[in-house]
């Protein structure tokens, strides 16, 4: 019996060590592509779901209840020929808040620059040391997915520990620096627009934006996580995050990372400050209408 107990403990321990980081759901929208066997996309969906959930993305140990919930939605917009496709990718991830059933948005972003080649049953692989692969259009799909996985892990790390996401942001930057190149591939270079993968990680790794990491930590760990015990302390943490972002925005107007931070948070912020004291409510509203211009109409309710 003692031997059986030891074996059981070893099995449990091993399963915990190997527990992966994500609880990811991946979906595809393919109604714009009519001349391709839809079975191919079902196979792709299964392969990418396994890629996200079964690959070990970090050396950290995650208990089953600690896995990061996230959604990836690929909307295929166009068939380019030769098994190549142009698509957009929506990435969403959330973080549980201490002592509650509530989950707060970590990332809610649409990337409109996804292009890739896929032949049914081709291996879905990613090599951190050889991002480009043999065929850049094949490698681009997993490179983009790996980039956003590391962004999710980085944001999650920052939200629990000060600068806790640095190692993952560095990995994301490495993917950008070694990204696949080709005539149909975009989103990895500085000249590929003002809201792309290059711009986002460049902001997060630039010392000019260090306060963004402080804002993420303050918003979640010193803010939302404190609400159960003391709402005033929680609001103070979130207000500190807004102050950090105000400094960043003043020094770097219209930066991508500030806009990125607020996507999916407006309703949450209105609820956070709707019951605050009047002076705090006004202070928060005055910052929010300048920081999150897209949601100005919602913040005006904080009267």
Which two structure tokens, joined as six digits, stand for 59? 């050396």
243 and 142 in one domain?
Answer: no
Residue 149 belongs to domain with CATH number:
3.40.50
Could you tell me the CA-to-CA distances from 165 to 108, 130, 186 in Å, in that order?
18, 23, 26
Instruction: Report strand pairing: 103-117 vs 22-29.
Output: unpaired
Instruction: Looking at the structure, tell me whether residues 155 and 254 fall in a common domain.
Output: no
Q: Taking 70 as the threshold, does the pLDDT of residue 14 lie above it?
A: no
Residue 201 lies in a domain: no
Whether residue 116 lies inside any domain: the answer is: yes
199, part of any domain: no
- What is the residue-wise DSSP string for 55-100? S--SS----GGGPEEEEEEEEEEEEEETTEEEEEEEEEEEEEPTTS
- Residue 1, pLDDT > 50, answer no
**Structural domains of the chain, count:** 2
Average pLDDT rounded to a whole number, residues 262-268:
96
Please report whether residue 42 resides in a domain: yes
- Measured between alpha carbons, how far is 107 from 114 in angstroms, rounded to an integer? 18
Top pLDDT among 35 and 116 is at 116
For residues 264 and 104, what is the distance between their CA atoms, to the nearest angstrom? Answer: 9
Could you tell me if 264 and 108 are in contact, meaning their C-beta atoms sit under 8 angstroms apart?
Answer: yes
User: What whole-number distance in Å separates Cα of residue 199 and Cα of residue 92?
Assistant: 19
Structural domain harbouring 243: 206-303
Residue 124 pLDDT more than 80?
Answer: yes
Whether the Cβ atoms of residue 165 and residue 213 lie closer than 8 Å to each other: yes
> 4 falls in which pLDDT band (50, 70, 90)?
very low
Domain check: are 35 and 141 in the same one? yes
Q: Is residue 43 part of a domain?
A: yes
| Residues 151, 260 share a domain | no
For residue 40, pLDDT over 80 is answered with yes
Mean pLDDT across the stretch 151-157? 98
Kindly state the average pLDDT of the residues 53-75: 92
Q: What percentage of the chain has pLDDT greater than the value 70?
A: 94
Q: Is residue 177 part of a domain?
A: no
Look at residues 135, 163, 191 and tell me which one is the last residue of a structural domain: 163
CA 43 distance to own-chain centroid: 24
148 shares its domain with 246: no
Domain boundary (103, 133, 163) is at: 163
Reported as a pLDDT band with limits 50, 70 and 90, residue 59 is confident
Same-domain check for residues 36 and 112: yes
Claim to verify: residue 139 and residue 234 sit in the same structural domain = no
Asked whether residue 8 carries a pLDDT value surpassing 70, the answer given is no
Mean of the pLDDT values across residues 134-158?
Answer: 97
Q: What is the mean pLDDT of residues 173-193?
A: 94
Q: How confident is the model at residue 194 (pLDDT cuts 50, 70, 90)?
A: confident
Pair 45, 113 in one domain = yes
Q: Collapsing DSSP states into helix, strand and coil, what is residue 243?
A: helix
pTM summary value? 0.92
Stretch among 73-77, 125-129, 157-161 having the lowest mean pLDDT: 125-129
Asked, for residue 298, whether it belongs to a domain, the answer is yes
Identify whether residues 97 and 43 lie together within a single domain.
yes
Check residue 19 and give its pLDDT: 57
| Structural domain includes residue 10 | no
Task: Give the domain-ending residue among 128, 163, 198.
Answer: 163
- Report the C-alpha gap between 161 and 18 in whole angstroms: 22
């Amino acid at each position: 019996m003692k031997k059986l107990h030891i074996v059981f403990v070893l099995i449990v321990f091993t399963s915990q060590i190997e527990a992966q980081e994500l609880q990811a759901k991946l979906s595809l929208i393919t109604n714009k592509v009519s001349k391709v066997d839809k079975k191919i996309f079902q196979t792709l969906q299964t392969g990418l779901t396994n890629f996200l959930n079964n690959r070990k993305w970090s050396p950290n140990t995650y208990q089953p209840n600690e896995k990061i919930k996230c959604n990836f939605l690929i909307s295929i917009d166009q068939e380019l020929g030769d098994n190549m496709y142009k698509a957009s990718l929506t990435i969403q991830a959330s973080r549980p808040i201490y002592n509650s059933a509530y989950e707060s948005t970590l990332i809610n972003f649409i990337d409109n620059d996804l292009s890739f080649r896929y032949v049914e049953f081709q291996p879905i692989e990613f090599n951190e040391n050889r991002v480009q692969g043999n065929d850049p259009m094949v490698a681009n799909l997993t490179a983009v997915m790996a980039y956003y996985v590391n962004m999710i892990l980085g944001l999650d790390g920052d939200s629990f520990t000060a600068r806790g996401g640095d190692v993952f942001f560095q990995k994301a930057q490495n993917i950008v620096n070694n990204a696949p190149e080709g005539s149909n591939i975009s989103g990895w270079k500085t000249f590929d627009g003002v809201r792309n993968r290059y711009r986002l990680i460049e902001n997060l790794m630039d010392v000019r934006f260090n306060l963004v990491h402080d804002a993420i930590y303050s918003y979640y760990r010193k803010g939302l996580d404190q609400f159960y015990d003391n709402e005033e302390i929680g609001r103070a943490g979130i207000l500190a995050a807004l102050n950090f972002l105000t400094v960043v925005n003043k020094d770097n107007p219209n930066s991508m990372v500030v806009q990125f931070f607020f996507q999916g948070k407006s309703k949450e912020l209105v609820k956070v400050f709707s019951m605050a004291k009047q002076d705090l409510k006004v202070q928060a509203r005055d910052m929010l209408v300048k920081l999150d211009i897209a949601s100005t109409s919602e913040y005006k309710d904080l009267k």
